[in-house]
């Protein structure tokens, strides 16, 4: 009995160390916040011209005339699989994601006060994910996580000022709210056999935290535009609850498990959403065709470490190294104005993962990717515009190569397909 209790106590400590990797979920950046932008692979830093510019470069809002209201969403169809390697979980072991559709959404409002000054507000979801593995009771990584969820909500009031016909500047305030959830199994070794003793659910939310963003757009000649935009990092403090729900095993084993199973308790941590710098250049090749190139830097190195605090049980407090790296991604987009009502769009981007192989886990596997986009904008009337976009995300296959800090090694294969739309009314 004492030996079993010791093993269970050790399992609790291991759990608290692994729980820290929940913050890796915030490393999943969603950059699709408007169907026009998505169709152009996000190349709006120099372009501007619609209300979603408040996200990509708020200085582009100075090109938006009148009063505008836009609402939209992006449907994300995500799939993933895992093939294990030795020593654990072993060759021949395979698992798949549950089929899920996610829909980060956006809402924009802008108003042109005069020829120089435009104000607006954007509401969008820049960070988020849900990783949900099929058949969790059979999933080899269930003691790490079988379901992890992160949601972020940004409200971003903005003011843009046209200093001259060539130069616009803008600034905004971002108010940030986030929620997180992690589900995993708790394993207990009894008489040399490992049992699923409990399901552990960690969930929490953060109060409102603040950051800022700003941008500059310069058009030195009719055909050439240049843009620079910056969005600050935001550190959020999360207060949560850890709930341990015991799974019945047998009348002889259950009391031993109950005796050492942690009580439900509070947990605290902090997560930093990284800062983002974008540089863009646009050029009008012909009367109908324009192209743009963006380079986007994301400061993922803010995930150097993570501290998980258990105020009621200080001995369980842990510090986990993360060691993400800063990365650039590169984007190209083109638009062809077919006629007065129809605009055709296409784009490509190359995105490099900031996640080291040691941090790959069932919580959030990630890899380098190639993204291909296409879409269109169509004026349904003089006041109403429909934008539609598609994105195919092709991840490189990626293996942990025996470096997993969770000792859960193998190859992850991921893919995603996105469909976005926006309706914009100008009045």
The pLDDT score that the predictor gives to residue 180 is 87
Count of beta carbons in the 10 Å neighbourhood of residue 114? 7
The C-alpha angle with vertex 389 and arms to 383 and 392, in degrees rounded to 5, equals 175
Domain extent, residue 405, equals: 2-426
pTM reported for the whole predicted model: 0.89
Residue 66: left (phi > 0), alpha (psi -120 to 50), or beta? left
Contacts of 251 (CB under 8 A, 6+ apart): none
- At residue 396 the predicted structure's pLDDT band, cuts being 50, 70 and 90, is very high
What CATH number has the domain bearing residue 52?
Answer: 2.40.160.60
pLDDT in tens, 139-151: 999 998 899 888 8
The pLDDT score that the predictor gives to residue 320 is 66
pLDDT over 50 (residue 312): yes
The pLDDT score that the predictor gives to residue 13 is 32
Q: What is the mean pLDDT of the chain?
A: 89
Residue 13: strand, helix, or coil: helix
The pLDDT score that the predictor gives to residue 316 is 66
Contacts of 260 (CB under 8 A, 6+ apart): 5, 8, 9, 12
pLDDT in tens, 48-102: 889 999 999 999 999 999 999 999 999 999 899 999 999 999 999 999 999 888 8
pLDDT in tens, 257-294: 888 788 899 988 888 899 999 999 999 999 999 999 99
Write the CA distances from 220 to 12, 39, 123, 143, 277, integer angstroms: 62, 26, 31, 58, 22
Q: How many domains does the chain have?
A: 1
Separation of alpha carbons 394 and 314, rounded Å: 43
Least confident range from 284-288, 315-319, 401-405: namely 315-319
pLDDT in tens, 183-213: 989 887 777 788 898 998 988 998 899 999 9
The pLDDT score that the predictor gives to residue 19 is 34
């Amino acid at each position: 009995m004492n030996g079993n209790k010791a093993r269970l106590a050790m399992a609790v400590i291991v759990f608290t160390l692994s729980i820290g990797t929940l913050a890796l979920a915030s490393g999943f950046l969603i950059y699709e916040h408007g169907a026009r932008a998505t169709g152009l692979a996000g190349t709006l830093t120099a372009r501007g011209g619609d209300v979603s510019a408040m996200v990509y470069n708020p200085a582009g809002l100075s090109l938006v005339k009148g009063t505008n209201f836009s609402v939209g969403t992006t449907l994300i169809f995500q799939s993933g699989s895992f093939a294990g390697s030795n020593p654990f979980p072993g060759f021949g072991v395979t698992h798949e994601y549950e089929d899920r559709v996610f829909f980060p959404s956006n809402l924009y409002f802008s108003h042109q006060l005069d020829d120089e000054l435009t104000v607006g507000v954007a509401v969008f979801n820049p960070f988020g994910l849900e990783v949900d593995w099929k058949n969790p009771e059979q999933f080899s990584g269930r003691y790490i996580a079988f379901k992890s969820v992160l949601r972020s909500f940004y409200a971003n009031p903005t003011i843009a000022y046209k200093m001259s016909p060539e130069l616009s500047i803008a600034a905004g305030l971002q108010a940030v709210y986030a929620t997180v959830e992690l589900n995993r199994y708790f394993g207990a070794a009894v008489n040399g056999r490992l049992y699923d003793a409990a399901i552990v659910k960690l969930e929490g939310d953060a109060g409102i935290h603040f950051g800022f963003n700003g941008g500059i757009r310069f058009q030195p000649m009719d055909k050439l535009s240049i843009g620079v935009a910056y969005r600050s990092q935001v550190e959020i403090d999360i207060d949560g609850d850890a709930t341990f729900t015991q799974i019945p095993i047998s009348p002889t084993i259950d009391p031993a498990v109950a005796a050492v199973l942690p009580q439900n308790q509070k947990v605290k941590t902090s997560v930093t959403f990284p800062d983002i710098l974008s540089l863009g250049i646009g050029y009008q090749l012909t009367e109908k065709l324009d192209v743009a190139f963006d380079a986007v830097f994301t400061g993922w190195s803010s995930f150097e470490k993570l501290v998980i605090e258990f105020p009621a049980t200080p001995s369980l407090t842990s510090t986990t190294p993360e060691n993400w790296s800063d990365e650039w991604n590169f984007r190209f987009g083109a638009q062809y104005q077919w006629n007065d009502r129809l605009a055709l769009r296409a784009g490509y981007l190359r995105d490099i993962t900031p996640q080291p192989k040691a941090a790959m886990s069932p919580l959030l596997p990630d890899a380098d990717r190639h993204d291909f986009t296409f879409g269109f904008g169509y004026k349904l009337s003089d006041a109403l515009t429909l934008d539609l976009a598609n994105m195919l995300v092709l991840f490189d296959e990626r293996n942990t190569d025996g470096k997993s800090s969770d000792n859960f090694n193998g190859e992850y294969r991921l893919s995603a397909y996105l469909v976005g739309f926006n309706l914009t009314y100008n009045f």
